Amino acid sequence: MRNRKVDATVNLYETLDEIRQWVGDRKAKSYTRQGCKVSLAKLKSKPANRVVLDVDVAFSTDKAKTSQCDFILFHIDDEQNCLIGVPMELKSGSVNASEAVAQLQEGARIADNCTPKGTEINLIPVLIHGRRMHTTQRNKLRTARIKFRGEEFPINTTRCGKKENLALALAKSTKR
């Protein structure tokens, strides 16, 4: 991932507040889907500097036109002073790479639409899975890219329920 610093004229905290207002009561109250849990421990942001959109609450699946990810984390990376969007798909069972890529791509589109115009945002798509992946599916994920604002980003993976799993996935966020 290319680190892009936000222009000093854009206040990251005001931007996050705008996103938080849009999210409103659609924020995640739990970080679990079908037995797969994501941990927000050890993230490079204070809890006050993050908000998690529950995509299934915001856009009910019976009304959605496409596949969608489970959650989108918006947070300010305190070390790099930048806004980061993290579309997350949680899979407790077997992983279908094509389906996961489509869900994360839709998450990137939603993250783009939730972010105020003119705001720089880095994207880190993450698949959190339970079982070992079949080699074919793992290889598809390794080569897959999520398109976002003219760039392509790899999908980071981590395991369900693993302590600090999201922080571990975000630490792998260099562009491949």
Q: Does residue 1 carry a pLDDT above 50?
A: no
Three-state secondary-structure class, residue 27: strand
Task: Give the chain's end-to-end CA distance (angstroms, integer).
Answer: 8
6 is a domain residue = no
For tokens 């809890």, name the residue: 47
Domain extent, residue 132, equals: 12-171
The CA distance from 99 to 89, in Å, is 10
The CA distance from 19 to 145, in Å, is 25
1 is a domain residue = no
Three-state secondary-structure class, residue 92: coil
Tell which residue, 62, 70, 160, 75, has the closest CA to residue 123. 75
3 is a domain residue = no
The CA distance from 151 to 146, in Å, is 8
- Which position has the higher pLDDT, 70 or 30? 70
Q: What is the pTM of this model?
A: 0.87
The CA distance from 58 to 64, in Å, is 10
Q: Does residue 11 carry a pLDDT above 90?
A: no
pLDDT for residue 174: 55
Of the listed ranges 58-72, 118-132, 144-158, the least confidently predicted one is 58-72
The CA distance from 122 to 16, in Å, is 13
29 is a domain residue = yes
The CA distance from 101 to 140, in Å, is 9
For tokens 């849009």, name the residue: 22
pLDDT for residue 3: 42
138 is a domain residue = yes
66 is a domain residue = yes
Total structural domains within the chain: 1
| Helical (H) or strand (E) element with 106 | helix 97-114
95 is a domain residue = yes
For residue range 64-93, list pLDDT tens digits in order. Answer: 556 899 999 999 988 888 899 999 999 988
Phi, psi of 130 (to 5 degrees): -100, -55
164 is a domain residue = yes
